[in-house]
């Protein structure tokens, strides 16, 4: 599983990355987590608001900061 956190590096983007890493560990998933800072790449996904989460090329949400349990649910549904 490839997980991408999209964001410019703002506080919310960093928090999302930390929560995603915690959710991956909590769910026991085999996944790589990458933080994408490049605005051209972010725009190419069609995301208009950050932070955003992309799992295996599919945008799961943007413009909000879910808690760890919600992230576990999102990731397990993949």
Catalytic pick from 13, 23, 42, 71? Answer: 13
Give the single-character DSSP code of 45. T
Check if 34 is active-site.
Answer: no
Distance CA 72, CA 27 (A): 6
Kindly report the backbone phi and psi dihedral angles of residue 73, in degrees, each rounded to the nearest multiple of 5, phi listed first.
-60, -45
The one catalytic residue in 1, 10, 43, 48 is 10
Q: Is 13 among the residues known to form the active site? A: yes
- Residues serving a catalytic function are 10, 13
């Amino acid at each position: 599983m490839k997980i991408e956190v999209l964001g410019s590096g703002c506080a919310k983007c960093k928090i999302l990355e930390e929560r995603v890493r915690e959710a991956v560990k909590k769910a026991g998933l085999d996944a790589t987590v990458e933080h994408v800072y490049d605005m051209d790449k972010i725009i190419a996904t069609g995301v208009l608001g950050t932070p955003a989460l992309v799992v295996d090329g599919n945008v799961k949400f943007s413009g909000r900061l879910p808690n760890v349990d919600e992230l576990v649910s999102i990731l397990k549904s993949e």
